[in-house]
């Protein structure tokens, strides 16, 4: 780091990418956003202006050839993650890859091995592990404040209509991947164990217009799970719910319970005769986990500078993908799937 900072290139300037872009522009110590890549020219130009970056590329390989780039943030559709991560590792660039890590376990393993062989860091974007409340919950579990953990329930429901590519389960792995990867990782983290079996049920309730073209698409899913250590899990996922962004966790123990998450975005409450009690609902994951994203990005740079393994590794990403694949198999075949 002779230039005094880690040069970061953002690959993928969509919604998630821009959160990282804004952080690395001026909020992360010892890091500087030096380049952006996106295959859509309009998106690329908009991001370059907003992030005030003069080096931008339609082809990510051109960005990887820039010697000023020391690390990349991959925030593209999942189907491109392995290809970009392998190219980045071979170019000697450290990698922060958004979830889901990849399309299947084989791709995840290729990413892990390539990063190891090239001695670069590989961190997966499970930012909830960097959320202050989630960290406190983990500490409370380890301190046995609720006794032994019996059940971890996690839900994520998003308000937005899926992007078109997400309707094709073969390209997105569905909401279990795009929405519930965080919940899967949350269950692994709080149980301290691996999934033993899953049973998932899903359906399309809010997107009838895509049923004919994408008959396998589901916008609502529930999944029950058992863990190797005997603990239980439950996941509730939904897209296009309209009412707001909803992410909550409940951890039931033998001597107590922990509740995580909030449904309100602001503390203001308005009361009047016409509407009763009104409190703004959380509108976006970008608002709820804003601080966690920043902490995640700071940790990525620290792991590079200190030559330490990131807190969220490729193995964590791979295990989440494994559970997604098992859940989708359970949906298709209507049976319990053992991992």
pLDDT tens figures, 305-339: 999 999 999 999 999 999 999 999 999 999 999 99
Per-residue confidence (pLDDT) for residue 264, from 0 to 100: 75
Structure tokens at 104: 């299947």
Distances in whole angstroms, Cα of residue 333 to Cα of each of 11, 324, 330, 337: 36, 14, 5, 9
Backbone region of residue 334 per phi and psi (left: phi > 0; alpha: psi in -120 to 50; beta: other values): left
Domains of the chain, start order: 6-127 (3.40.50.720), 129-291+319-338 (3.30.360.10)
Phi–psi pair at 194, nearest 5 degrees: -95, 150
Q: pLDDT grade, residue 73 (50/70/90)? A: very high
Q: Count of CB atoms within 10 A of residue 100's CB? A: 25
Per-residue confidence (pLDDT) for residue 283, from 0 to 100: 73
Task: Identify the CA nearest to 223 among candidates 99, 149, 331.
Answer: 331
Is residue 149 within 8 A of residue 125, CB to CB? The reply is: no
**Stretch 275-304: mean pLDDT, rounded?**
85
Cα gap 284→156, rounded to integer Å: 11
pLDDT tens digits, residue range 36-54?
999 999 999 999 999 999 9
pLDDT tens digits, residue range 100-112?
999 999 999 999 9
Q: At what angle do helices 15-26 and 290-305 cross, to 10 degrees?
A: 60
Q: Count of CB atoms within 10 A of residue 221's CB? A: 22
- DSSP β-ladder status, 337-338 and 122-124: unpaired
Cis peptide before 205 (omega within 30 of 0): no
Q: Among 20-34, 113-127, 157-171, whose mean pLDDT is lowest?
A: 157-171
Of all helices (H) and strands (E), which one includes residue 180?
Answer: none
Structure tokens at 162: 């899926």
Distances in whole angstroms, Cα of residue 251 to Cα of each of 60, 97, 269, 274, 329: 42, 28, 28, 38, 27
Per-residue confidence (pLDDT) for residue 284, from 0 to 100: 63
Q: pLDDT grade, residue 287 (50/70/90)? A: low
pLDDT tens digits, residue range 154-204?
999 999 899 898 999 998 999 999 999 999 999 999 999 999 999 999 999
Comparing 279 with 102, the larger pLDDT belongs to 102
pLDDT at 265 over 80: no
**Residue 96 half-sphere exposure toward CB, CA atoms < 13 A:** 34
Per-residue confidence (pLDDT) for residue 270, from 0 to 100: 84
- DSSP β-ladder status, 71-74 and 56-57: unpaired
pLDDT at 1 over 70: no
Q: pLDDT grade, residue 263 (50/70/90)? A: confident
- pTM for the model stands at 0.94
**Stretch 245-265: mean pLDDT, rounded?**
92
For the chain, the average pLDDT equals: 95
């Amino acid at each position: 780091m002779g230039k005094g900072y880690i040069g970061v290139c953002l690959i993928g300037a969509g919604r998630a990418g821009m959160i990282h872009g804004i952080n690395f522009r001026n909020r992360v110590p010892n890091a500087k956003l030096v380049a952006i890549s996106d295959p859509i020219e309009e998106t690329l130009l908009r991001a370059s202006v907003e992030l005030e970056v003069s080096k931008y590329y339609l082809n990510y390989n051109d960005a990887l050839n820039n010697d000023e780039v020391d690390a990349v943030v991959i925030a593209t559709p999942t189907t491109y993650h392995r290809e970009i991560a392998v190219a980045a590792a071979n170019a000697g660039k450290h990698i922060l890859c958004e979830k889901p890590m990849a399309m299947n376990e084989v791709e995840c393993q290729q990413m892990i091995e390539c990063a190891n062989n090239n001695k670069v860091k590989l961190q997966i974007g499970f930012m909830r592990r960097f959320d202050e409340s989630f960290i406190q919950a983990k500490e409370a579990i380890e301190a046995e404040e609720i006794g032994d953990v019996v059940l971890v329930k996690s839900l994520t429901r998003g308000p937005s209509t899926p992007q078109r590519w997400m309707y094709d389960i073969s390209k997105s792995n569905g909401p279990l991947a795009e929405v519930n990867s965080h919940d899967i990782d949350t269950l692994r983290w709080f149980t301290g164990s691996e999934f033993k079996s899953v049973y998932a049920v899903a359906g399309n309730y809010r997107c009838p217009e895509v049923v004919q073209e994408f008959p396998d698409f589901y916008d609502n899913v529930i999944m029950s799970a058992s863990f190797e250590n005997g603990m239980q899990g439950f996941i509730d996922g939904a897209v296009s719910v309209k009412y707001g962004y909803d992410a909550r966790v409940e951890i039931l123990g033998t001597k107590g319970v922990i509740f995580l998450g909030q449904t309100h975005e602001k503390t203001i409450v308005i009361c009047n005769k016409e509407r009763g009690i009104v409190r703004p609902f959380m509108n976006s994951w970008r608002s709820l986990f804003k601080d966690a994203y920043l902490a995640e990005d700071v940790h990525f740079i620290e792991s590079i500078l200190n030559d330490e393994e990131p807190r969220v590794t490729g193995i964590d990403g791979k295990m989440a993908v494994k559970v997604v694949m098992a859940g989708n198999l359970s949906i298709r075949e209507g049976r319990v799937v053992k991992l």
